[in-house]
Structure 1
Amino acid sequence: MSLNRSDLVSAIAAKADLTKADADKAVAALQEVLIESLAAGEAVKVTGLLSVERVERAARTGRNPRTGEEIQIPAGYGVKISAGSLLKKAVAK
């Protein structure tokens, strides 16, 4: 089972005693803050829950799986998400 955005908004609304519209605004704001912060190269850390940061990937040589031909993969950025202690405890049960 997975929690989609609608389910998440409903759960937040119930836990925080908010309307679904207000909870949806909060989720949208979190999304915007994450995107803007990561685009600016800033890490986002929610102590105990998670940390999200932009990581640099060096250029490298790869291989086309169909042809076996070597290809050059340019340098770029990725996203690294690390679970915090509360999140790790929750899934260990």
Structure 2
Amino acid sequence: MTKTELVAAMAENAELTKKDSDKVLNAFISIVTNELKEGNKVALPGFGTFETSERSERKGRNPQTGETMKIAACKAPKFKAGKTLKDAINA
């Protein structure tokens, strides 16, 4: 499903215009992004949790040249599905 398809489905399901649904989706993405940047997590009970994890510096290999290189430490976003979502998918 693409963003356009998601916006259309949200509009139909919530009886909103596509323009309003797009605003809501963009606001959601912006809020989650800002919270993760600040180091907070966003929990949606029944759906899941968005959070960040620290990745330490590590060595990697360039697949084209075989040369060893450093991969810098970074923060990576994670999503952990909630029980209700897992149960719905596996039902």
User: Equivalent residue for 1:17?
Assistant: 15
**Identity, % of aligned pairs?**
38
C-alpha deviation, 1:66, in angstroms: 2.6
User: Equivalent residue for 1:54?
Assistant: 52
Q: Which runs of 5+ in 1 are unaligned?
A: none
Q: TM-score, normalization: structure 2?
A: 0.88
Q: TM-score, normalization: structure 1?
A: 0.86
**Runs of 4 or more off by more than 4 Å in structure 1?**
none
Amino acid at match of 1:40: E
User: Equivalent residue for 1:82?
Assistant: 80
Amino acid at match of 1:55: S
Q: Which runs of 5+ in 2 are unaligned?
A: none
User: Equivalent residue for 2:3?
Assistant: 5
CA distance in 1, matches of 2:54, 2:72: 11
Q: Secondary structure at the match of 2:31?
A: helix
CA distance in 2, matches of 1:7, 1:67: 41
Instruction: Determine whether 1:73 maps to 2:71.
Output: yes
Amino acid at match of 2:60: G
